[in-house]
Amino acid sequence: MDMKALNQRFEIFPASSDTPNAVLQELKNWLVASSLEQRLRINPYEVAAATGRSVNDLLSVLLTGIATGLFNMHWHVHCPHCNMVTKEHESFFELTQTSHCPMCDVSFEADFLTRIEVNFSLHPSIENPDLPAFCLPPPVLTSKINLTVMPGETLANSDKIEEPGRYRYFCPITLAKGILEVQGEPTDTVQEFKIRQLGTLQYDLNHIVARPGPIRFELTNECSTVCGAYVIQNILPDGLSLESLPVRLTGLQVIHHPDYRRLFGDQVLPEDERLQISSVALLFTDIAGSTEMYETLGNADAYSVVRDHFSVLFEAVEAHDGFVVKTIGDAVMASFMNSDDAMQSARDAIRAFARLNANTDQDHGVFVKFGVHRGPAIIVNLNSRIDYFGSTVNRAARIQDCAAANEIVVSEDAFIDSQIARDIARDCDGERREIVKLKGIETEQLVHRLTIAETIAAK
């Protein structure tokens, strides 16, 4: 790491950022004390745990630092079965809907919530380790042997493998792979196998048969990069849940961060690409009685009211880590990582409108309808911006359609996922469950109607 270059980049950083100097200094201290492996792909959650700073604050520094030549950003696609990095991209624009894992020999859809990770590295002018993106096996896969060997070195490690079956030994960096078959009668004798990592990035030995018992691998690295050997069962397990993996920054989290949208909001997918999101919370809003308002106030005056109402909604959305996907006439569609944030945003907006209405005449009052739903969706490029499509989007819009002024209508999927929704149900002027028929959708929908009275909202 070039300390002179690192110091120079941090010295110019405050001129282009509102980030507190303390956050910058703590991130710099972490970088200086970190290992090469940590800096190779900087995980904001790991830095947050070490410094006590919030992930959002650190993410602001990392994103802003890209423009100052301090950091690079990486989008990693992970295999759902072994968590290996199958693709690395430098921008959102490069992402594709499918990927292939050479270790598992399986193709999969890259879920934007669970399979796409965003991390960072120092700019190559500060440090350039010249290593490909890789990911060690997660603890849930209980890997054996676990060897990491530098070029020209030989290391050995032992472990006891008692369960018969087929195992895979592999290097996540060079992608070398072999099969270990454990069969026959158990033994207490250490079985030793000498393996060479060749310059062709393959092992010289790609099939081993051993008996259940202690096994020792001796690995000699004859290639020009660091290599390793890890042993896991050679099966294709069900998709690894996000909760079973080391905590990481997801692609969906990143696009919800205001600094990402400010700095990289013009990055969109190619027009023929799409990305699956397994779960996202959506908020739709619309002004109740907007047609009458335009008739009463006239176009110019009514437009001013609508514009000011957008400012209130945008502020409420961003205050709870959401972002406005689009406006449609007087309506707003916003995206959130979870239902709690969507519900808090709706509640805050209702309170804000109640305060505004208390200080204006009745004709200029704004009364908004809210709908919240959660489910899978796809990200697409529409008119050179990020947009969502799918049944979840359609349902969320239709759920909002059946709301009244100062009412939040919440789908069952979003309600059971939100503690805030249950809190609002206890505090609001009225709450009831109802089966509704949504326009254009065949199946009926269970919803919760939360009516927020003006007197309650103004508190």
At 425, the pLDDT band (50, 70, 90 cuts) reads confident
Q: Per-residue pLDDT tens for 1-14?
A: 889 999 998 888 76
Give me the pLDDT at residue 383, please. Answer: 83
| Cβ–Cβ under 8 Å, residues 376 and 392 | yes
User: What backbone torsions phi and psi does residue 102 show, to the nearest 5 degrees?
Assistant: -70, -25
End of a domain among 189, 219, 239? Answer: 239
pLDDT of residue 322: 95
Which one has a higher pLDDT value, 40 or 363? 40
Q: HSE on the CB side for 332, CA within 13 Å?
A: 28
Using one digit for the tens of pLDDT, what is the confidence trace for 334-355?
999 999 999 999 999 999 998 8
Last residue of a domain, one of 223, 239, 255: 239
Q: Which domain holds residue 186?
A: 139-239
For 129, the 3-state DSSP assignment is coil
State the residue for tokens 């530098």. 150
Cα(196)–Cα(82) distance, integer angstroms: 24
260 occurs within a structural domain: no
120 and 143: one domain?
Answer: no
**Is residue 353 domain-shared with residue 376, that is, in the same domain?**
yes
Q: For the segment 110-121, what is each residue's pLDDT rounded down to a tens digit?
A: 999 999 999 999
Is 161 in the same domain as 102? no
**Among 18-22, 256-260, 291-295, which range has the highest average pLDDT?**
256-260
> Residue 264 is encoded by which pair of tokens?
């990289």
Does the structure show a pLDDT above 60 at 437?
yes
Query: What confidence tens digit (pLDDT) does each residue in 13-26 have?
Result: 766 556 678 888 99
- Contact present, 314 and 265 (Cβ < 8 Å): no
Predicted pLDDT of residue 296: 78
Could you please report the per-residue DSSP string of 417-448? T-HHHHHHHHHSSEEEEEEE--TT-SS-EEEE
For residues 40-46, give the mean pLDDT. Answer: 95
DSSP assignments along 50-97, one per residue: HH---HHHHHHHHHHHHHTTSEEEEEEEE-TTT--EEEEESSGGG--S
Mean pLDDT (the chain, rounded): 90
197 found inside a domain: yes
Q: Looking at the structure, do residues 417 and 283 belong to the same domain, yes or no?
A: yes
Q: Is 173 part of any domain?
A: yes
Instruction: Give the tens place of pLDDT for each residue, 124-164.
Output: 999 998 888 888 889 988 899 999 999 999 999 999 999 99
What's the full length of the chain, in residues? 459
Q: Select from 369, 388, 194, 396 the least CA-distant residue to 285.
A: 369
Number of domains the chain contains: 3
What is the spatial distance between Cα 96 and Cα 402, in angstroms, rounded to a whole number? Answer: 36
Q: Which of 239, 258, 284 is the last residue of a domain?
A: 239
pLDDT at 13: 79
Average of per-residue pLDDT across 191-219: 95
- Residue 249 within a domain: no
pLDDT of residue 360: 79
**Same domain (yes/no): 347, 366:** yes
pLDDT at 94: 93
Q: Measured at the alpha carbon of residue 448, what is the angle toward residues 443 and 453, in degrees to the nearest 5?
A: 140
Q: What is the pLDDT of residue 15?
A: 62
Upper half-sphere CA count for residue 446 (Cβ side, 13 Å)? 6
Query: How big, in percent rounded to 5, are the helix, strand and coil portions of the chain?
Result: 35, 30, 35
How would you write 1-46 as a 3-class SS string? Answer: CCHHHHHHHHHHHHHHCCCCHHHHHHHHHHHHHCCHHHHHCECHHH
Burial grade of 216 (CB within 10 A; 0-12, 13-18, 19 or more): middle
Mean pLDDT, residues 224-238 taken together: 90
Q: Has this prediction a pTM greater than 0.85?
A: yes
In 3D, which of 421, 330, 309 has the Cα closest to residue 373? 421
- Residue 371 belongs to a domain: yes
Do 114 and 35 share a structural domain? yes
Q: Answer whether residue 126 is part of any domain.
A: yes
**Which pLDDT band, with edges at 50, 70 and 90, does 362 fall under?**
confident
Alpha helices (runs of H) in 265-360, residue ranges in sequence order: 290-297, 299-319, 339-358
d(CA 167, CA 62): 39
Could you tell me if 312 and 414 lie in one domain? Answer: yes
Instruction: Confirm whether 83 is domain-assigned.
Output: yes
Same domain, 33 and 123: yes
* Contact (CB, 8 A) for 228 and 148: yes
Shared domain check, 155 and 116:
no
Q: At what angle do helices 21-33 and 55-67 cross, to 10 degrees?
A: 80
State the Cα–Cα distance between residues 247 and 251, nearest whole angstrom.
13
Give the count of beta carbons closer than 10 Å to the beta carbon of residue 398: 20
At 212 the pLDDT is 97
Look at residue 402 and tell me whether its pLDDT is greater than 60: yes
Residue 269 carries which DSSP code?
-
pLDDT of amino acid 344: 94
Amino acid at 179: I
Examine the pLDDT at 457 and tell me if it is beyond 60.
no
Asked if 14 and 123 sit in the same domain, the reply is: yes
Amino acid, res. 393: V
Q: Are residues 93 and 172 in the same domain?
A: no
Sign of CA dihedral 173, 176, 177, 180: negative
Task: For Cα atoms 411, 318, 333, give the angle at the middle one, nearest 5 degrees.
Answer: 45
Query: What percent of the chain shows pLDDT beyond 90?
Result: 66
In this prediction, residue 153 carries a pLDDT of: 96
Residue 305 sits at φ, ψ, to 5 deg, of -65, -45
Q: What pLDDT score does 201 carry?
A: 87
Q: What is the mean pLDDT of residues 409-421?
A: 91
Do both 125 and 143 map to the same domain? no
Is residue 180 pLDDT above 90, yes or no?
Answer: yes
Report pLDDT for 361: 74
Q: What is the CATH number of the domain that holds 401?
A: 3.30.70.1230
Is residue 304 a part of any domain in this protein?
Answer: yes
